[in-house]
Amino acid sequence: MRGGKDILEDIAFMIEATDSYRVGRNIDFKKVENAIERLSPKLPDIFDSATKKKYKKTVDFVTSLPFKSKSMRKFALLYMLFRLLLRVSSVGFLLSIGLIFYASPYSTPMLIASTSLLYAALVGRWYTLTKLLEFYEREMKNQPGKDEFLKEIAQKLIDELSSKIGELGMKPSKYRLHLFKSDYSGVRILKRPGWLRDYHLAEVEISG
């Protein structure tokens, strides 16, 4: 059973990674490569030798796109900064709420500061993410074959995950997916992106 769970985890990871590449998210390719090597013997129809080479070439193209534009390099760095600020300000906000119950003299100024920082981080993250997504959408339209290839791989993996979850009698909720794109079949969207979440929370549908 453990081997079955391992392959499900690898498939779910590859779905999320492939989907992320479609919107320019730079997932550590070494981890992706390791997952592909583990899956290749079990899913030869998806990851044959030619497909693996094409996958790497496509990912190299996608992840290099921001470096071709000075403004996009800036937005990519700012986006990472705002994500970090969002985490820090969220922790500060929760701490300040806790200090209020202890009547700490630092609670009010800390609450004001963390709330201001949280708001700035939310707006900054939303703005930079929007710019990055617009950039990738524009660039990928010029290379429709690359996006279609990644979408096709993700869809095959989604179908495989659904099939294997059904075979093993597992619950789809154990392998929920974080997806930036929602144009796949066989997935149920549970939560859509919001202020604190920039992805769709989804799970595969089990037929029958």
Summarize pLDDT for 99-111 with one digit per residue, the tens: 777 766 777 787 8
Domain membership of residue 97 as a residue range: 68-141
Q: Structure pTM?
A: 0.77
Residues 61 and 81 in one domain: no
> Structural domain tally of the chain?
2
What pairs with residue 203 in β-bridges? 188
Residues 55 and 110 in one domain: no
Domain boundary among 93, 115, 141: 141
Domain boundary among 141, 156, 180: 141
For residue 203, what is the DSSP state? E
Residues 149 and 46 in one domain: yes
Residues 130 and 151 in one domain: no
Residues 136 and 148 in one domain: no
Residues 122 and 20 in one domain: no
What DSSP string runs through 131-185?
HHHHHHHHHHHTSHHHHHHHHHHHHHHHHHHHHHHHHHT--GGGG-EEES----S
Q: Which residues of the chain carry a pLDDT beneath 70?
A: 1-5, 103-104, 195-196, 208
pLDDT of residue 6: 87
Residues 116 and 20 in one domain: no
For residue 40, what is the DSSP state? T
Domain boundary among 116, 141, 166: 141
Residues 149 and 60 in one domain: yes
Residues 190 and 102 in one domain: no
Residues 75 and 135 in one domain: yes
